[in-house]
Structure 1
Amino acid sequence: MTDRLITHLRHVDLAVPDLARQRDFFTGAWGLTTEHTDSGIAFLAAEGSPEQYVIRLRQANDKRIDLISFGADTPSDVDSLAERLATSGVQLVSEPGSLHTPGGGYGFRFFDNEGRTIEISADVAVRQHRKIEAGESVPVRLSHVVINSADPEGTRAFYEKHLGFRLSDILMHPRMGEMMWFMRINSWHHSLAIARCPHPALHHVSFEMRGLDEYMRGTGRLLRAGVEKIWGPGRHLAGNNTFSYFLDPHGNTMEYTTELELIDEDTWHPHLYDFSDPEVSDQWGTANAMNEFVARRSFNDPDKGLFVAPPV
């Protein structure tokens, strides 16, 4: 397995046909802050996060994942990883160099096995952030991203071999087999998860709240605002985190969560959880039942950005 050279999830970048509507959703009901704007682009920060932004929105004709960004400790780690990937035949989108996004830094981009654009960066300036106070129901940080994959076994192998991800847990079903793989890049239970799906797409993006009270207050605010809820509130078994899933204006699933498990990587052994057991999906039993209709809402539209690098 490749030595681990990436450290954490930085941001998820989305292209959408209606930038203004999407930005209003994230900065209104969802609770992010617009930190930087440019022509056709908005950079949105989480108040408690040192990252310059956790979501980037770009105006485009087609909805797509523009890129998923991970951090590295040093520019030399960035160079080492780029060299390893190129040597292994992974297609680079850009060579390591200076970044011209907010906070600057040094990084490069490449396509993963299914054609998603991935960015690795170091030396990005830390954003001035603050402690989220009791009762503030706004996201503290970006928690994790889940991707749909038509080849989840191959996608898992790619992220393990090339980026040093490790398996935390698997969800399976007696009839359908293994369906979701939770992958970690640090002591958080997962920063990335891979879901079996007929096509590659975004499954969901998750945002960490301060605590249970803030998580429930945020969930309630979205319900009162009429944002369409898919599933929740509840608490998963894998990761032991809470969940409330909602649809953004373009049909992407967004999640509020809190208390994602921190694990001891030296002693952790992955579990194989059977999610036909209701307590695996929701330990509390408070969420609406997980059924085929609920699951299909997060299949999303097939991603139109595969093996096509975003223009910025």
Structure 2
Amino acid sequence: MNTTSVLTHLRYFAIAMPNFDEQRAFYRETWGLTETVNDSGVSFLAAEGSPELYTVRLRKDSEKRMDLVAFGCASPADVDTLTEQLIARRVTLVHEPRELDTPGGGYGVRFFDNEGRVVEVSADVAVRAHRKIEEREPIPVKLSHVLMNSPTPEVTVRWYIDHLGFRLSDTMRIGDREIMWFLRCNDFHHSFGIVRGPHAAFNHASFEMRGIDEFMRGTGRLHRLGFERFWGPGRHRAGDNTFSYFLDQAGNTVEYSTELEVVDEDTWHPHIYDLSEPENSDQWGTANPMTESIAACSRNDVDRGLFVAPPM
């Protein structure tokens, strides 16, 4: 039972944490985002090269949790069409399509996925004046992709394909066990993905840099500031993008990346890459080898927000 995707792109992800001030300072002063709205314990942060009013939402809460992941679509009619399909398939809505009261407004629906994450799909959200990132400027252009951990990844991948119309780009495995699935809703190799893990949780968010030089400068800036780079720099096989992975101040994995592959929808066929072959995790061979301890860095804490709608 497949759905034709009405999704056009990834808009933002929203996370909550007790150490809000520390987290806000990290994303503004270290990671290189621009705060567009700050409202009593909630911060909305944009990437300077993106028209999205915000790509990250931070919220102060007594517990760390993933609030939601948000995607855009072309029109309010597409939001309504998707909602009708979700209701017909007995997906639980957080709220029906309505005018949004978050910055930028728009029209959107929220619902729970099969494991209890909150997903938002919206249209007609206001855009911001953005700019071209300059040569050698080591700050993100835009949010590239978000991946989630799942204890039932085959079921969850199928859910996103069937209910939201994602297409499978590539799969990673170790031996005969598949561990990672890359999903797309446009012609970028992936904007979303699922990783096999012991519990449902946020895996990582990736931010696109202007180019290789800016990617390396951003990586180096964090290193000089004393933030541990637990994997990278290197270049993945699936998606052909570069990577440097860090932890934010709440223990969530964030990535600097660039040159994510653009696929030809008419000719693309999904690949299965075996991570027991080192070049499939890092084509360059410059990153530290993928180990169990590195993988554990992105397993994250058990998400306390499953099947619990955020307060905003």
Q: TM-score, normalised by structure 1?
A: 0.99
Matches of 1:26 and 1:73 in 2, distance apart? Answer: 29
Rounded Cα–Cα distance in structure 2 between residues aligned with 1:280 and 1:262: 18
- Residue 309 of structure 1 deviates from its aligned partner by 0.4
Distance 1:116 1:187 in 2: 25
Q: Distance in 2 between matches of 1:101 and 1:227?
A: 32
**Distance in 1 between residues matched to 2:125 and 2:183, nearest whole Å:** 24
Q: How much does 1:29 deviate?
A: 1.1
Structure 1, unaligned stretches of length 5 or more?
Answer: none
- Equivalent residue number for residue 193 of structure 2: 193
Query: 1:107 is matched with which residue?
Result: 108
Amino acid at match of 2:286: T
Q: 2: CA distance between counterparts of 1:43 and 1:228? A: 25
**Alpha-carbon deviation of 1:112?**
0.2
Aligned residues between the structures? 311
Among the aligned pairs, what percent are the same residue?
A: 61
Q: Displacement, 1:170?
A: 0.3
Gaps of 5+ in 2: none
Q: Measure the CA separation in 2 of the matches of 1:95 and 1:254.
A: 31
Inter-partner Cα distance in structure 1 for 2:185 and 2:221 = 32
User: 2:142 matched to which residue of 1?
Assistant: 141
Aligned residue for 1:58? 59
Distance 1:63 1:72 in 2: 29
**Amino acid aligned to 1:100:** D
> Post-superposition shift, 1:39?
1.4
Deviation string, structure 1 residues 7-57 (Cα, Å, up to 9, x no partner): 100000000111110010000110001100111100000000000100000
Q: Deviations over 1:84-110 (max 9, x none)?
A: 101100000001000111111000100
Which residue type is aligned with residue 155 of structure 1?
T
Alignment partner of 2:63: what SS? coil
What are the Cα deviations for residues 248-291 of structure 1, in whole angstroms up to 9, with x where unaligned? 11110000000000000111000010010000000000001110
Q: How does 1:67-78 map to 2 (within 5 A)?
A: 67-78=68-79
- 1:208 has 2:208 as partner: yes
User: Hey, what does 2:49 align to over in structure 1?
Assistant: 48
> Quick one: distance in 2 between partners of 1:50 and 1:149?
31
Q: TM-score, structure 2 length as denominator?
A: 0.99
Residue of structure 1 equivalent to 2:180 = 180
* Amino acid in structure 1 at the alignment position of 2:245: Y
Q: Which amino acid aligns with 2:248?
A: D
SS at match of 1:229: coil
1:158 aligns with 2:164: no
Can you list the C-alpha shifts for 1:227-262, whole angstroms capped at 9, x where unaligned?
121100000000000000001111100000000000
